[in-house]
Chain A
């Protein structure tokens, strides 16, 4: 079975500061990895995904993530955050043989302070 651990439930940062949201996964088979964002009172939006190839993945809104197989991590980063990045961020994993059944982490609430 697959599982996802998001180590930080909340991350407060100042506007224009860099941020890293941590994610570790566990799986005995090859996986796809995802980051989703959920703005207040809205649905899930895909930020970025790792399917194969380059381990550095760039997504929307200036976010990027790096797949590290040896550390089973997929941390999300942004060099300079904005107030509008305030949201809940979910790391997720799926088996390559069943890519659409997604297992989500518990989420990290990113709050941006002016």
Chain B
């Protein structure tokens, strides 16, 4: 069964460093998403991406964040200068259309020290 894959599963970075989280969506999907879950809290929507541009973003997704589809298979989330409060589990998701179910990856646990 096709699945969304995320790498790495765990990333530790120093405060102020840039970090890139990588995702490979399901191959025939056209819509891509990032969600975040701070430890012990609920999962929050960050951003949706379609046709090489952001279609929607939450208030969490500020100028520190950016997304990119650098090639035909990867979808990345970049945090420019990490802060301690960016420590969270980041989930990538993809869907075939805007009206169909999103499939989630296993997540990348980001720890900022």
Contact = CB atoms under 8 A, between A and B. Distances in A.
Interface of A: 32, 36, 42-46, 49, 90, 92, 96-107
Contact of B102 (A42, A43, A96, A99): A99
B101 A100 contact: yes
Contacts of A32: 101
Interface string B13-44: 00000000000000000010101000001111
Given A42-B106, A43-B107, A100 B43 contact: no
B93 interface: yes
Nearest to A106: B42
A77 B56 CA distance: 34
B104 A107 contact: no
A82 B12 CA distance: 35
Contact of B104 (A43, A49, A101, A105): A43
A112 B35 CA distance: 28
Given A90-B43, A106-B41, A107-B42, A100 B107 contact: no
Describe B's contact surface by its main secondary structure.
strand
B95 A105 contact: no
Given A43-B105, A43-B107, A44-B91, A101 B45 contact: yes
B51 interface: no
Given A44-B43, A90-B42, A90-B43, A100 B104 contact: no
Interface residues of B, number: 24
Nearest to A45: B104
Nearest to A102: B102
Contact of B99 (A92, A99, A103, A107): A99
B42 A100 contact: no
A104 B42 contact: yes
Given A42-B106, A44-B43, A49-B101, A100 B48 contact: yes
A63 B89 CA distance: 26
Contact of A43 (B45, B56, B106): B106
